[in-house]
Amino acid sequence: MSIVDNKTVDGIALTDDNNGIILLIADHMDWRDEYQHLVMLQEKINVYITFLEQKQYEDIYKGENITYGIIEIHFLYNLTANAEKFLQSVQNQVAELGVKIQYCVSQEGADEAR
């Protein structure tokens, strides 16, 4: 599972306080085709937002009182300036839904990008 499979949630877990849900996106792609990469990322994020809005997690976490969601993206390669702007724009749009976007870059990929 990864960014290329936009019909599947890559990973799911409850937050430590059990009031939130974390959805993981695994992004192993480099940024050579930045436009295509951003399109794929947008499609995957949209699937996750729908998953949260429709409370599809209730099939997994019955009886939990989920009040917020976190979409956590793990990138293998350092982000481009456009990618960072894109994620900030998405964050601004989904904040009102109780969704937060978080991301990190794998040290291995960051080292390779240097």
Domains delineated in the chain: 11-113 (3.40.50)
Question: Taking the model in full, what pTM does it have?
Answer: 0.89
pLDDT above 80: residue 71: yes
Q: What is the mean pLDDT of residues 99-110?
A: 82
How many Cα atoms occupy the beta-carbon half-sphere of 72 within 13 Å? 16
In the structure, what pLDDT confidence band is assigned to residue 1 with cuts at 50, 70 and 90?
Answer: low
How many Cα atoms occupy the beta-carbon half-sphere of 47 within 13 Å? 18
Q: What is the mean pLDDT of residues 16-37?
A: 94
pLDDT above 90: residue 113: no
